[in-house]
Structures are given as structure tokens and as C-alpha cells.
Amino acid sequence: MRLDGKVALVTGASKGIGRAIAVAFAREGADVAINYLTSEDDAKKVFETVTSMGRRSVLIKADVSKSDQVKMMVDRVIGEFGRIDILVNNAGFTKMASILELTEDVWDEIVDVNMKGTYLVSREVLKHMVDRKSGVIINMASVAGIVGETALPGNLHYNAAKQGIVAMTRTMARAFAPDIRVNAIAPGVILTDFHARAGVTEEKIKKRIQDVPLLRAGRPEEIASVAVFLASEDSSYITGQTIVVDGGLGMP
């Protein structure tokens, strides 16, 4: 098992990609702290899955865009497990809005959760990792942040936040090397309820899939397998990179 004995904190772990990562980490031997904000029932199911594998787990409700809640969450994980070896900044969402109709409130909400949340959780966990001179951080970017409107039209705010995460990943990787590795994953169209919750119709999703060279959407487990790779010693010589997992959608 590639993560045997490790302790991981996964934000936004109640469903979709976050759930898949939490389960994959547990399968590889890690104890997993499960963060959620609104989907408590789903989070409990992830908790049950993780603990059924003989791993330790804890459920923590926290808004990653609020520094006081982030501190509470990190303190609780360290209190329960003694350390954090792996952080996955997965929490995020969007609300569709054209550039000219995008309000300041929606801009702030999306940027706060996706980009500021990644920073706040990383900052709190890094204090601990720096003291231990060890750790791995995996940030969740998006192909939308790399190719912009081509990937997800009507999403300037989300695209900008995700590109900011790419820059943040490189900056943190350089700042905290050689002891701490920081990488990102940029998913494409993945089979979760993310797009539906954002207001994207099924018809638009099917049309977008037609633009994917592999002619299908990705599965959450395909993102999770990359997360396991980046969290493990298999990627010990990789830092500051964004791994695109999009079926070729973002190719020039």
C-alpha cells in the first residue's frame, strides 16, 4: 500500500472527486480526515466507507473560505491524528454567469472558496508541515483555468480562480522545497454532479464531451488515481507541476 501509515486531510470530500480521493487514499493505507460544508449525509457515507477498510477517519464541517473555521479544522485533525502528511485542497464550486452579467458578490463567493480557500488551508497546514520538514500538498485546479472559456463558457470567475491555483502551486512548491512537495491536478469534464449544481444543462455537457478527443467524460476515480500517485513516493521527484487529466480537451 503506497500510503500506509499516512494521515491525509481532504477538503470537499463528501462527494464527487473529493469522495473518490478519500476512498482511494484509505484503500492505499491512509487515515483520512473528511471535510465537508453542506452535504453531511454524503460525508457520513464516505466516513463509513473509509472506516470499513480499517482506517481511522474524522468528519469535520468547515467553510474553507473562513480562516477561523480552517484553523479549527486543522487543529482538530492534528489533535485526532497527531500530524498531517497529505493535504488535498479539493473544495470548490461555481455558479454560471456571463462576463457582463457576473456580479461582484458571485465573483467574491467563487474566488473565495476556490482560490482563497486553497490558500487558507494550505497556510494553516504548512505551519505544521514546515515544523516537521515533511509533507505533500495537492491542489485541485481545472483545465478551465488553463484554456479558459474554451473549456467552460460563462465561467470567468471560476476559470480565473483555477488559474490562480496553478500559480499558487508553483509559488508554494518553490518556497517550501525541498522538504514539502506541492502539485496540482487539472481535471476536465468529470462524471459528477458538479456541472449540474452549477446550472449547466445535460445537453451542454454532452456537447462538451464531443470536444474531448477521447470522446467520453472522465471518472472521479481517474482523478483519484493521480492524487494517489502525487501523494506517494512514486512522485518523489515531482513538484510545482499541474497534471492535466482531461481526455485531451485542453490540447492546443
List, in order, residues 6 or more apart from 205 with CB less than 8 Å away: 189, 195, 217
- Residue 96 in grid coordinates: 454560471
Q: Are 20 and 222 in contact (CB under 8 A)?
A: no
237 catalytic residue (yes or no): no
**Cell numbers of 160, please?**
480565473
Rounded to the nearest 10 degrees, the angle between the axes of helix 117-132 and helix 156-176 is 10
C-beta separation of 180 from 126 below 8 A = yes
Say if CB 124 and CB 66 are below 8 A apart. no
Distance CA 246, CA 135 (A): 27
Which one of 36, 119, 158, 237 is the catalytic residue? 158
Contact 24, 227 (CB under 8 A): yes
Active-site residues, by number, are: 158
